[in-house]
């Protein structure tokens, strides 16, 4: 069986090289590009993100990434966001009192972490649902690498249609609990950096690639 193709979307805000290496290690055929057709037609699209919410959204929009994400998801084509690449999937981000519009794939706001020490930088465990596909085969005590000052503290999306599986939401705690990962149909995301999380992160990316 040929390797699954994954595009790391290069819109100027992400650790694209480390993501490329980690995905290749997990068995994917990886390309870093912002080419529209390649991003649309790959088996999987990975959207990284570092820095400020508003700046990432601006960069993504200028690269037509907002349209690509929306069209892929409309067709059930897998997309995965990492760090700020996860945050911009929500409705809005609030930084320094300034609100910026996100992609709105999920309701909710990205707000400052409520903790004594900010940023949250280092290794942390997560509390994943028992039926998680993203964390399948991973030890419950596995640790993942986080580096961020903002997060989503409340999950507001409920699915009442029995035709669709309810979103699987993974949590962790730094001060107050926050969303660490989401599996919602074709759209998956992590607040932590799997590409910097050693063997646990490699297994997680392998799990994603196997669903493509």
195 annotated active-site: yes
Annotated catalytic residue 83: yes
CA 58 to chain centre: 18
Residue of 20, 56, 83, 148 marked active site:
83
160 is catalytic: no
Residue 72 · residue 45 · CB < 8 Å: yes
| Residues with catalytic function | 83, 193, 195
């Amino acid at each position: 069986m040929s390797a699954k193709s994954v595009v790391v979307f290069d819109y100027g805000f992400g650790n694209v090289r480390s993501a490329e290496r980690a995905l290749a290690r997990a068995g994917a055929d990886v390309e870093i590009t912002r080419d529209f057709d390649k991003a649309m037609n790959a088996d999987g699209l990975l959207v990284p993100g570092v820095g400020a919410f508003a700046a990432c959204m601006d960069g993504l929009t200028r690269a037509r990434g907002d349209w690509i994400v929306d069209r892929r998801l409309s067709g059930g084509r897998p997309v995965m966001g990492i760090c700020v690449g996860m945050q911009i999937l929500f409705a809005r981000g609030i930084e320094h009192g300034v609100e910026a519009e996100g992609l709105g794939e999920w309701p909710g706001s990205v707000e400052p972490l409520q903790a004594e020490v900010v940023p949250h930088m280092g290794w942390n465990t997560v509390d994943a649902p028992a039926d998680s596909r993203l964390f399948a085969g991973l030890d419950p005590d596995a640790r993942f690498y986080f580096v961020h000052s903002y997060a989503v503290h409340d999950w507001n999306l409920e699915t009442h249609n029995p035709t669709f599986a309810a979103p699987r939401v993974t949590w962790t705690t730094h001060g107050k609990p926050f969303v660490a990962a989401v599996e919602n149909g074709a759209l998956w995301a992590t607040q932590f950096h799997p590409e910097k999380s050693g063997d646990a992160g490699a297994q997680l990316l392998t799990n994603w690639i196997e669903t493509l």
